[in-house]
Amino acid sequence: MRQHVNPLSQFFQLPLSLPSKNVLFKKSHNPIHLDIGSAKGEFLMELAIKNSDWNFVGLEIREPLVRLSEKKRIKLNLNNLKFLFCNVNVSLDEWLSDLDYGQLKRVSIQFPDPWFKRKHFKRRVLQKNLINSIAKSMIKDGEIFIQSDILKLFESMTNTIDKSRYFNRKDLGDLSFIDKNPYNVNTDRELFSLKKNFPIYRVMYIRNSLLFID
């Protein structure tokens, strides 16, 4: 399966109208965990099994992976989970505006495509507009969890979030990074990196009380 798609190509710049939470979930007012770049979906499936009082949404730009994840989700009869195809930097803001105030509690962005060349940095998923959309929809104490095994990409992600001023890094005392996934569930890439003894850089951000200014 093709590993990379160009999010700036004309096809992925077409905005999609994503189904509302009332269409996606029977218990539509439950708190939401949004996983951006859900890949094969195993991470969210395990979380959804363990947390029936939460709703989980996986967003993925590679449509074949969404179809694969949905087949597995349906087989597991997970009604508190849904996988959707979209370019989050084009289609997410409108969907977030439909949520109840404070319903978005957690966002995770894990091992996104690195796009190593400087001229391709604008293709990276974590952009200023995405952070602003999340900040606008999340009240105080909401979480953003990010991780990567590529330090330069991780630094780019943290710089983008830090500059927004709407999120503070969770106090870790003398530690610079979280030493394990806080949800006690590993992604496929995380398991691969652990097996290869690659360093993994993780940090949790907490939404502060600064009001969003459009």
Please give the model's pTM, rounded to 2 decimal places.
Answer: 0.94
For residue 33, what is the enclosing H or E element? strand 32-36
Q: Would you state the pLDDT for residue 174?
A: 59
Query: What is the token pair recorded at 100?
Result: 């109840």
Closest to 60 (Cα-Cα) out of 82, 84, 80, 30: 84
**Cα 169-175-177 angle, rounded to 5 deg:** 60
Active site residues: 113
pLDDT of residue 11: 63
List, edge to edge, every strand of the sheet that includes 32-36.
81-85, 55-60, 32-36, 104-110, 143-148, 201-207, 167-169
Start-to-end CA distance of the chain, whole Å, equals: 39
Look at residue 49 in the predicted model and tell me its pLDDT.
Answer: 98
**Tokens coding 44:** 């969210």
Q: In angstroms, how far is CA 122 from the centroid of its own chain?
A: 18
Listed by start position, the domains of the chain span: 28-207
Q: Mean pLDDT, consecutive 10-residue segments, the chain of 214 residues?
A: 67 82 96 97 98 98 95 98 96 94 96 83 91 96 97 96 95 76 95 95 96 86
Pick the CATH number of 28-207 from 2.60.40.420, 1.10.10.10, 3.40.50.150, 3.30.530.20: 3.40.50.150
